[in-house]
Amino acid sequence: MSTANLLVELFVEELPPKALKKLSESFSQVLADSLRAQGLALTDAVVTSFASPRRLAVHIASVADKAADQAVQQKLMPVSVGLDADGQPTPALLKKLTALGGGLGDVSGLTRAPDGKSEALFFNSIKAGASLGEGLQKALDDALSKLPIPKVMTYQLEQGEGAQFQPGWTSVNFVRPAHGLVALHGDQVIAVTALGLKSGRSTHGHRFEALVSPVVVRTADTYSDQLLNEGAVIASFAARRAEIVRQLALAAFKAGTGIRPIEDDALLDEVTGLVERPNVLIGQFEAAFLEVPQECLILTMKANQKYFPLLDASQGKDGKLTNQFLIVSNISPVDASAVIGGNERVVRPRLADAKFFFDQDRKKTLASRVEGLSKVVYHGKLGTQGDRAERVRGIGHEIVKQLSLSTTPFTVEAKDHFDVLDSKVQQAASLAKTDLLTDMVGEFPELQGIMGGYYARHEGLRDGVAIAIEDHYKPRFAGDALPRNHTGTVVSLADKLETLVGLFGIGQLPTGDKDPFALRRHAVGVIRILIENNLPLDLPTLVAAAGAVFGDLISDPSEALLVFMQDRLAVSLRDQGYTAQEVDAVLSLKPRRLGDVPRRLAAVRAFAALPEAASLAAANKRVGNILKKSDDQVDSTVDAALLKETAEAALYEALKLAAPKAQASFEEGDYTASLLALAVLKAPVDAFFDSVMVNADDAALKLNRLGLLTMLHKAMNQVADISRLAA
Evaluate if residue 175 carries a pLDDT over 70.
yes
- At 184 the pLDDT is 97
Nearest CA among 441, 552, 542, 446 for reference residue 498: 542
- At 616 the pLDDT is 87
Q: Which of 116 and 428 is assigned the larger pLDDT?
A: 428
287-329 confidence digits (pLDDT tens): 999 999 999 999 999 999 999 999 998 877 778 999 999 999 9
Over range 597-622, report the average pLDDT.
Answer: 88
Report d(CA 229, CA 57) in Å as an integer. 18
- At 408 the pLDDT is 65
Report d(CA 712, CA 620) in Å as an integer. 8
440-443, long-range: CB within 8 Å, 24+ apart, which pairs?
440/296, 440/354, 440/357, 440/358, 440/361, 443/353, 443/354, 443/357
Over range 42-47, report the average pLDDT.
Answer: 93
Evaluate if residue 216 carries a pLDDT over 90.
yes
Q: How confident is the model at residue 162 (pLDDT cuts 50, 70, 90)?
A: very low
Report d(CA 428, CA 469) in Å as an integer. 6
Least confident of 285-289, 594-598, 723-727: 723-727
- Percent with pLDDT over 70 in the chain: 95
- At 290 the pLDDT is 95
- At 407 the pLDDT is 64
Angle formed by the axes of helices 558-575 and 539-548, nearest 10°: 140
Report d(CA 356, CA 504) in Å as an integer. 40
Report d(CA 524, CA 474) in Å as an integer. 11
Q: Indicate the residue type of 143.
A: A
What does pLDDT average to over the chain?
Answer: 90
**127 three-state secondary structure:** strand
Evaluate if residue 66 carries a pLDDT over 50.
yes
Least confident of 146-155, 412-421, 607-616: 412-421
Report d(CA 31, CA 194) in Å as an integer. 13
Nearest CA among 238, 247, 242 for reference residue 52: 238
- What is the CATH architecture of 598-725? Orthogonal Bundle (1.10)
Range picked from 148-152, 354-358, 478-482, 510-514 for highest mean pLDDT? 354-358
- At 122 the pLDDT is 85
Question: In terms of pTM, does the model score above 0.85?
Answer: no
Q: How confident is the model at residue 161 (pLDDT cuts 50, 70, 90)?
A: very low
Evaluate if residue 556 carries a pLDDT over 70.
yes
Q: What's 693-716 look like in SS3?
A: CCCCCCHHHHHHHHHHHHHHHHHH
CA distances from 121 to 74, 80, 92, 335, 674 (A): 9, 9, 12, 80, 66
Q: Which of 99 and 398 is assigned the larger pLDDT?
A: 398
- At 273 the pLDDT is 97
Alpha-carbon Rg of the chain, whole angstroms? 36
Over range 113-134, report the average pLDDT.
Answer: 84
- At 701 the pLDDT is 86
Report d(CA 78, CA 625) in Å as an integer. 47
CA distances from 209 to 244, 356, 615 (A): 18, 40, 74
Report d(CA 413, CA 204) in Å as an integer. 71
Q: Indicate the residue type of 194.
A: A
- At 110 the pLDDT is 82
- At 682 the pLDDT is 87
Evaluate if residue 713 carries a pLDDT over 70.
yes
Q: Indicate the residue type of 165.
A: F
CA distances from 454 to 99, 292, 434 (A): 79, 10, 12
Over range 594-617, report the average pLDDT.
Answer: 89
Helix-, strand-, coil-residue percentages of the chain, each rounded to 5: 50, 15, 35
Q: Indicate the residue type of 16.
A: P
Give the DSSP letter string of 131-149: BHHHHHHHHHHHHHHT---
506-524 confidence digits (pLDDT tens): 999 998 888 889 999 999 9
Report yes or no: 491 and 396 within 8 Å, Cβ to Cβ: yes
- At 252 the pLDDT is 95
Classify domain 3-66+131-229 at the CATH class level: alpha beta
Least confident of 74-88, 374-388, 658-672: 74-88
- Percent with pLDDT over 90 in the chain: 65
Evaluate if residue 412 carries a pLDDT over 60.
no
Q: Domain-by-domain residue ranges, the chain?
A: 3-66+131-229, 70-127, 241-361, 367-577, 598-725
Least confident of 439-448, 545-554, 634-643, 684-693: 634-643
